[in-house]
Chain A
Amino acid sequence: MSGISDILVLIKQVPDTSSKAGLNPDGTIDRAKAKRMLNPFDRYALQAALHVKKMYGGRVTALTMGPPPAVEILLEAIAHGADQGYLLSDRRLAASDTLATAYALHKCVLYLGKMDLIFTGLQTTDGDTAQVGPQIAERLDLPQVTYCEDFSIEEGKLHARRIVEGGHQDVICNLPALVTVANAYHQLEYKTLRGARLIQELNRDEALKNQYIHTITLDDVSADPELCGLKGSPTIVAHTDKVGQIGGQCVMHQGKSIEALVKEITGGTQIKEFVRQ
């Protein structure tokens, strides 16, 4: 008996920086033009949630906060096997920092009801802070396992391995708990044919889609708008600078014989100095 009935996974849509679309020359992102994708670490979190469902049972709910297009990643989660998706979308959330984001999301969790396990990605590729997960856990007074790279559930407890400097750490944690996932140990099964069909149907049939995906606002989850968005954010980005030396500086050696390529390197004075004599 695992005793798991509800699993929540928090996911975010981020700009796809591997594609050139929407990338400004100065390295910033034009979010309107950029391609969008599921944050890579959140994919691992989704894998973890679906792994729990497969091994121990329970229902998987995917939750995201973002503008309306973020519904795409909820559909993706459903195609992979999540049971339902919630999109928190509200203009008053604009410019939320991690604290304000965590406040809004923890209100959603309270609105959704009891969760046995909450998974989030370790961090996002557009913020890189790794803060929102633990901030939600603090608000909900939950224990947390961050940097999780593998886990199992035994006798109603989470046995997890987390990444630490120079090694790893094994912990045992009571449920409910919040877990930030750093690695993909449980492969996401390819979208099943059934999943792909379901998405087609949902895109065709608005009423059916509404059974799977729920769009909610701050009012629905009784969140105080004063604690969200710019108002609820204790930090602001006051200034940004371009970093000089990074990017586009690499001298590429290719398209010649290996011998010639290597010569270009070994002939360099910076290297010669260190060659053992």
Chain B
Amino acid sequence: MSEESPEIVKPINADQPVGEVLVFAEQCLGELQPVGLELLGAGRILADKLKRPLTAIVLGHNLGDIPKTLIAHGADKVYIADHPDLEQYRTLPYRRVICKWIEQMAVEPHTMLLGSTTTGRDLAPRIAAHFTTGLTADTTELDIGDYDHKGGSDPSKIGLYAHCLYAIRPSFGESLKARILGPWKNPQMATTRPGVMVPLKPDWERTGEVITIPVDIDSSDYRLAVKETFREVNQTVNLAQADVIVAGGYGLGNPEGFELIRKLADCFDNSAVGASRKVVDAGWIPYNHQIGQTGKTVRPKVYIACGISGAIQHRVGMQNSDLIIAINKDPDAPIFKFAHHGIVGDLYQVLPEMIRQLQSSQSSSPKEVSSVV
């Protein structure tokens, strides 16, 4: 019997110990960044598939409730490094503390995840280069699965590998999705786009271990000093909950253009004003309106982009909106590659007309008439 059954191939890495799934939980000015909780949501699924613990590492000073929050969101264990010199993110001290901690583990993590933020994308490649391990940037999906490496110029890599990290990312201007693997060395690393993974519902009854890790910073790690960090943390602009977002870009030509944007936004219920980074940098509107990679990620029912070219850094913050309407005078603007409706024209002609039509549809609506009467 046994001779007739198909040969079961044993994965090359079957007997190797499998480590934990480690998440870098980023804090800024003592505040945990949402991407850390998103990574825990994704990491929990990976860890359960691997049957290994999910751990989180957080560096900073006076971390307060952060470890508790991480455990409530799925971490089995939290490593904390608390030191005044870790309060603000700096590449060299952070990479030293983390690399040293990983080096002393009996088994290195199977997977390490960081956010694709200006911090995560600064730190992750340093750690990956230190361990000479693989790193996939900007992933949008993660999974665990087998991989049968059939060929290629390196025969030493050929064979079946079990439980590999599948790091999936958009490529070629978002038109393709690539699955990237690196099962030959652990930790298998990835950075993940903020706003994509879903955090678990917090369970404040959940318990976990909190471990304080050593902090030995080398004098050479002080070669860079942070003078000042300016972050607009004001959340008064209700972009996340808005049904309709009207966003203005550099095509407005001047800051006064935002009056028109506001007027259009006022035609809708539950609406908000958004902006590209370029107009924020120009000082036309505060940072808390910015949408995109270094601004907010939004998913409204309707997104109206006015005079915005549609750069990838803007696109990642709004491309999941249900309906995207773009107004741009350039028919070749990249925004028309992913908008649902595009009006080619001068926004200073289009927007006033749009406002006029929307307002007249308001006054002609029977509901409105009866309420007046």
Asked if B135 and A167 make an inter-chain contact with CB atoms under 8 angstroms apart, the answer reads no
Out of A128, A130, A144, A254, name the residue touching B171 (CB < 8 Å): A128
**A167–B121 CB distance below 8 A:** no
Decide yes or no whether A139 CB sits under 8 A from chain B: yes
Interface-lining segment among B67-75, B254-262, B330-338: B330-338
A230 in contact with B153 (CB, 8 Å): yes
A162 within 8 A of B: yes
Contact A146 B122 (CB under 8 A): yes
Any A CB within 8 A of the CB of B126: yes
Q: Describe B's contact surface by its main secondary structure.
A: mixed
Stretch in contact with the other chain, from A187-195, A199-207, A233-241: A233-241
Most chain B Cβ neighbours within 10 Å, of A29, A139, A235:
A235
Residue B368 lies at the interface, judged by CB distance under 8 Å to chain A: yes
Cβ contact of A138, chosen from B129, B171, B180, cutoff 8 A: B129
CB pair A238 B357 closer than 8 Å: no
B337–A252 touching, CB < 8 Å: no
Chain A 227-248 interface mask (CB, 8 Å, partner B; 1/0): 0011101111111111100111
Q: Is B84 an interface residue (CB 8 A)?
A: no
- Smallest distance from the beta carbon of B215 to chain A beta carbons, Å? 19
**Is B236 an interface position by the 8 A CB rule?**
no
Decide yes or no whether B268 CB sits under 8 A from chain A.
yes
Kindly provide the distance from the CB of A105 to the nearest chain B CB, expressed in whole angstroms.
12
Which residue of the partner chain, among A97, A166, A272, contacts B295 with CB atoms under 8 Å?
A166
Binary contact readout B210-240 vs A (1 if CB under 8 angstroms, 0 otherwise)? 0000000000100111111111110000000
Inside 8 A of B244's CB, which chain A residues have their CB?
274
Give the complex CA separation of A137 and B341 in angstroms.
Answer: 44
In the assembled complex, the Cα of A234 lies from the Cα of B95 at a distance in Å of 20
Interface string of A128-140 (1 = CB under 8 A from B): 1111111101110
Asked whether A235 lies within 8 Å of B270 as measured between CB atoms, the reply is no
Interface set, chain A 150-170, CB cutoff 8 A to B: 159, 162-170
B153 partner, pick from A173, A231, A235, beta carbons under 8 A: A231
Asked if A172 is at the interface (CB within 8 A of a chain B CB), the reply is: yes
- Is A250's CB under 8 angstroms from B323's CB? no
Q: Are B225 and A135 in contact (CB under 8 A)?
A: no
Interface contact A276-B128, CB-CB below 8 Å? no
Q: Do B361 and A275 have beta carbons less than 8 Å apart? A: yes
Contact A238 B147 (CB under 8 A): yes
Determine whether B185 belongs to the interface, using a CB cutoff of 8 Å to chain A.
Answer: yes
- On chain A, the residues within 8 Å of B223 by CB distance are 143, 173-174, 177
CB within 8 Å of A: which B283-336 residues: 287-288, 290, 294-295, 301-302, 312, 322-323, 325-326, 331, 336
CB-based contact A251/B341 at 8 Å: yes
Cross-chain contact B350 with A254 (CB below 8 angstroms): no
* Bound CA–CA A98/B357 (angstroms): 52
Tell me if A17 counts as interface (CB < 8 A to partner B): yes
CB of A110 within 8 Å of the partner chain: no
> Chain A CB within 10 Å — which of B132, B326, B365 has the most?
B132
Establish whether residues B340 and A249, one from each chain, have CB atoms under 8 Å apart when the complex forms. Answer: yes
The answer to whether B134 touches A168, judged by C-beta atoms less than 8 angstroms apart, is no
Distance A230 CA – B153 CA, assembled complex (angstroms) = 7
> Cβ of B179 and Cβ of A134 under 8 Å apart?
no
| Neighbouring B residues of A133 by C-beta, 8 Å | 125
A173 to B181, CA, bound (A): 35
Minimal Cβ-Cβ distance residue in A for B121: A130
With CB as the reference atom, state the residue of chain A lying closest to B300.
A274
A128 contacts across to B, CB distance below 8 A: 137-138, 171, 312
B173 touches A27 (CB 8 A): yes
Q: Would B181 and A266 count as touching, CB distance under 8 A?
A: no
Which one of A47-55, A70-78, A79-87, A256-264 contacts B? Answer: A256-264
CB interface residues, B 235-276, toward A, < 8 Å: 243-244, 266-271
Q: Are A250 and B338 in contact (CB under 8 A)?
A: yes
A132, A143, A163, A265: the one within 8 Å of B91 (CB) = A143
* A residues near B11, Cβ cutoff 8 Å: none
A173 touching B224, Cβ below 8 Å: yes
Q: Assuming the A-B contacts A251-B340, A262-B353, A275-B358, are A138 and B126 also in contact, with contact meaning beta carbons closer than 8 angstroms in the complex?
A: yes
Q: Is the CB of B228 within 8 A of A235?
A: no
Once the chains are docked, how many angstroms separate the CA of A163 from the CA of B326? Answer: 26
Q: Does B4 contact A (CB under 8 A)?
A: no
Report the Cα distance A29→B173, complex, angstroms: 11
> Does the CB pair A258–B353 fall under 8 Å?
yes
Q: Quick check: B178 and A239 within 8 Å, CB to CB?
A: yes
Docked Cα-Cα span, A145 to B171, in Å, equals: 25
Q: Are B129 and A258 in contact (CB under 8 A)?
A: no
Contact A139 B343 (CB under 8 A): no
State whether A238 and B179 are in contact (beta carbons under 8 Å apart), knowing that A251-B341, A277-B362 are contacts in the complex: yes
- Interface assignment of B152: CB less than 8 Å from any CB of chain A: yes
Residue of A nearest to B119 (CB): A164
Interface string of B356-373 (1 = CB under 8 A from A): 011001100101100000
**In this complex, what residue of B is CB-closest to A146?**
B122
Interface centre among B223, B225, B323 (most CB of A within 10 A): B223
Contacts A263-B357, A275-B361 supplied; 11 other A-B pairs, CB < 8 Å = A144-B91, A165-B294, A168-B230, A170-B228, A171-B224, A172-B224, A172-B227, A231-B154, A240-B178, A243-B175, A261-B343
A-B contact pairs, 17 of them (CB 8 A): A134-B125, A141-B220, A165-B28, A166-B294, A169-B229, A169-B230, A170-B228, A171-B224, A235-B134, A235-B180, A237-B179, A243-B177, A250-B340, A264-B341, A265-B343, A266-B361, A271-B325
